[in-house]
Amino acid sequence: MKKSMNVANKKNSVNLPIEKRVREMQIFYIEDIESTLYTLSEEESKHCIRVMRMAVGDELFVTDGRGTLCRCHIVEANAKGCVVALDERMLHYGQHNFRLHIAVAPTKNSARMEWFVEKAVEMGVDEITPIVCAHSERQTIKTERLEKVAISAMKQSLKAYKPIINPPTPVDELLRMPFDGQRFIAYCDGDLRTPLHEAYIPKSNALILIGPEGDFSDKEVQTALHEGFVPVTLGAYRLRTETAAMAATAFLNLLNN
């Protein structure tokens, strides 16, 4: 019954626009999709064959997380190495016209940082940098785990772009890095701050710094201002680190859409 349902779905969707076909299918992740025949990883293969009960001939989509989306069909339904063949390749699928880089201090509870990464990918973020600050509650973080969370969120939200997740970086180092776009620092106190939605120019690239629960130190704020960062506020209420990072992501995506 499952096989016949998959075949029926494939027949019914064949004439739909590609955006609608993607919404009705599963997306799987492959790091390199430059050829015409791909083998899914064992984890992806198990999900495809054992969980989704897909079979030879069934249609699915694969992405490399760098904007390439391929429509494929299964040629070997192996739960340890499912082989799929290319039918159509799309470049820059779902690309937006601005880049968003969120630099955020890792939270003491790693699950909160994972929550932010998951939701930010769903909303649309291009780069995430954990920053080490004077008041940081956590100095290290498992970026490999964040990569897995990002890949899962990318597939779940039917995207073809996975954000770059950088290793933990000292905030002073990041402040001095070049960036082609607007740069903001969000912190709790200060009279110079402007609401982010008023300071940001839509369609512009943006780098937004979000500090730890203890906020940025005075020295870090002054260094940021000296380097040309614009001080901004995310509203009247004090937000948790991961909530502030998510609010900034949501603001910019709302302003650009």
Q: Work out the average pLDDT over 142-168.
A: 95
In contact, 26 and 61? CB cutoff 8 Å:
yes
- How far is it, in rounded angstroms, from Cα 248 to Cα 102? 8
- How far is it, in rounded angstroms, from Cα 33 to Cα 224? 40
pTM of the model: 0.87
Which one, of 150, 257, 161, 169, lies nearest residue 207 by Cα?
169
- How far is it, in rounded angstroms, from Cα 121 to Cα 148? 12
Quick one: how far is CA 163 from the chain centroid? 4
Domains of the chain: 2-90 (2.40.240.20), 100-256 (3.40.1280.10)
Q: What's the pLDDT at 24? A: 63
What percent of the chain lies above the pLDDT cut of 90?
A: 76
Which tokens sit at 32?
């390199």
pLDDT band for position 3 (cuts 50, 70, 90): very low
Is pLDDT at 9 greater than 50 in this prediction? no
Residues sharing a CB contact under 8 Å with residue 187, sequence separation 6 or more, in sequence order: 193, 211, 215, 216, 221, 231
Residues sharing a CB contact under 8 Å with residue 19, sequence separation 6 or more, in sequence order: none
